[in-house]
Structure 1
Amino acid sequence: MIHLYGTTEVRTERDTSPPTATAGENLRLALTYLLPAYLKGAFRGRPRVAALVARLDAARHGVDTMRRMRRRHGRGPVMVRGTSGPTLLVLDADDARQVLTGPVEVYAVDTWEKVTGFAGVQPDALVASHGGQRAVRRAFNDSVLDAGCPVHRLADHFLRVVGEEAAALLGPRAVAGLDADAFRERFERVGRRCFLGEAAADDVEFSRLLGELLAEANWMGARRWRLAHVRRVRRRMMQRQARYLAEADPRSLTGLFAAAPRGPETAPEAQLSHWFMALTSVQAATVQALALLATHPRHHERALAEVGAADRKHGARTVAGFCDMPYVRACVQDAARLWPPVTGLMRRTTAETRWRDAVAPGGVNVLVPAGFHARDGERIEYAHRFAPELWLDGTAEGDWAISPFSRGEAECSGTELALQLATGFVAELLRGGELAVSGVRMGPSGPLPYTFDATRLRVGVRATTRPAEEGDGA
Structure 2
Amino acid sequence: MVTNTEPATASLQDTLRVAAQVVLPTLAGGVIKRRPLGLAAAQKLQLDRPAVRLLGRLRSRYGPGPLRLRVPGRSIDLALSGEDVAEVLAAAPVPFSPSTKEKRAALGHFQPHGVLISDAADRPPRRRFNEEVLEPGRPLHDLAEPFATVIAKEAESLWDNGTLDWDTFNVAWWRIVRQVVLGESAAGDDALTDMLDRLRKDANWAYAHPRRESLYARFRARLIEHLERVEPGSLAEVIASAEAERKPEIVADQVAHWLFAFDAAGIVTFRALALLATHPAARERADEEARDADLASPNQFAYLRACALESVRLWPTTPALLRESTADTAWGPAGTTVLIFTPFFHRDPESMPYADRFEPGIWLDGSAAGNPALVPFSAGPAICPGRDLVLFCASTMLAHLIRDRRFDLVSGAVLGPERPLPATLDNFHLKFALVSD
Q: TM-score, normalised by structure 2?
A: 0.95
1:456: how far off? Answer: 2.4
Secondary structure in structure 2 of the residue aligned to 1:378: coil
**Among residues 158, 164, 168, which one is paired with 1:178 in the alignment?**
164
Look up the match of 2:138: 149
**Among residues 82, 89, 92, which one is paired with 1:100 in the alignment?**
89
Distance 1:304 1:139, change over 3 A: same
**Among residues 313, 335, 349, which one is paired with 1:377 in the alignment?**
349
**Among residues 171, 175, 181, which one is paired with 1:189 in the alignment?**
175
Report 1:317-356 matches (<5 A): 317-319=296-298, 322-323=299-300, 325-354=301-330
User: Given the alignment of the two structures, is residue 140 of structure 1 paired with residue 129 of structure 2, yes or no?
Assistant: yes
Secondary structure in structure 1 of the residue aligned to 2:329: strand
Query: After TM superposition, where is structure 1 displaced by more than 4 Å over at least 4 residues in a row?
Result: 81-84, 263-266
**In 2, Cα distance between the equivalents of 1:83 and 1:294?**
47
**In 2, Cα distance between the equivalents of 1:236 and 1:87?**
36
Distance 1:247 1:108, change over 3 A: same
Please tell me the residue identity of whatever aligns with 1:316: L
**Among residues 280, 286, 291, which one is paired with 1:297 in the alignment?**
280
**In 1, Cα distance between the equivalents of 2:71 and 2:384?**
24
Distance 1:212 1:302, change over 3 A: same
Q: Does the Cα contact within 8 Å between 1:344 and 1:370 map onto a contact in 2?
A: yes
Distance 1:149 1:373, change over 3 A: same
Q: Deviations over 1:327-370 (max 9, x none)?
A: 1111111111111110121100112334xxxx532210011111
Distance 1:83 1:120, change over 3 A: farther
Look up the match of 1:413: 385
Aligned residues, how many?
435
User: Given the alignment of the two structures, is residue 62 of structure 1 paired with residue 51 of structure 2, yes or no?
Assistant: yes
Secondary structure in structure 1 of the residue aligned to 2:310: helix
**In 1, Cα distance between the equivalents of 2:112 and 2:434?**
41
**In 2, Cα distance between the equivalents of 1:63 and 1:178?**
32
**In 2, Cα distance between the equivalents of 1:208 and 1:413?**
25
Look up the match of 1:233: 215
**In 1, Cα distance between the equivalents of 2:133 and 2:285?**
34
Please tell me the residue identity of whatever aligns with 2:209: R
**In 1, Cα distance between the equivalents of 2:101 and 2:296?**
41
1:400: how far off? Answer: 1.9
Distance 1:105 1:428, change over 3 A: same
Q: Does the Cα contact within 8 Å between 2:96 and 2:324 map onto a contact in 1?
A: yes
Look up the match of 1:262: 244
**In 2, Cα distance between the equivalents of 1:47 and 1:86?**
32
Look up the match of 1:113: 102
**In 2, Cα distance between the equivalents of 1:179 and 1:82?**
42
Q: TM-score, normalised by structure 1?
A: 0.88
**In 2, Cα distance between the equivalents of 1:131 and 1:79?**
26
Cα-Cα RMSD = 1.8
Q: Does the Cα contact within 8 Å between 1:191 and 1:279 map onto a contact in 2?
A: yes
Q: Does the Cα contact within 8 Å between 2:139 and 2:388 map onto a contact in 1?
A: yes
1:114: how far off? Answer: 1.4
Q: Deviations over 1:134-189 (max 9, x none)?
A: 111000000000112121110111111112222231211xx2x3222222211111
1:263: how far off? Answer: 4.8
Look up the match of 1:32: 21
**In 2, Cα distance between the equivalents of 1:275 and 1:81?**
35
Please tell me the residue identity of whatever aligns with 1:144: V
User: Given the alignment of the two structures, is residue 444 of structure 1 paired with residue 427 of structure 2, yes or no?
Assistant: no
Look up the match of 1:470: none
Instruction: Work out which of the two has the higher radius of gyration on C-alpha atoms and give 1 or 2.
Output: 1
1:219: how far off? Answer: 1.1
Q: Does the Cα contact within 8 Å between 1:344 and 1:367 map onto a contact in 2?
A: yes
Please tell me the residue identity of whatever aligns with 2:348: D
Distance 1:446 1:44, change over 3 A: same
**In 2, Cα distance between the equivalents of 1:374 and 1:76?**
18
**Among residues 164, 184, 191, which one is paired with 1:198 in the alignment?**
184
User: Given the alignment of the two structures, is residue 281 of structure 1 paired with residue 281 of structure 2, yes or no?
Assistant: no
Unaligned runs of 5+ in 1: 6-14, 465-474
Please tell me the residue identity of whatever aligns with 2:186: A
Secondary structure in structure 1 of the residue aligned to 2:9: coil
Unaligned runs of 5+ in 2: none
Q: Does the Cα contact within 8 Å between 1:100 and 1:407 map onto a contact in 2?
A: yes
Q: Does the Cα contact within 8 Å between 1:290 and 1:459 map onto a contact in 2?
A: no
Report 1:387-406 matches (<5 A): 387-406=359-378
Secondary structure in structure 2 of the residue aligned to 1:105: coil
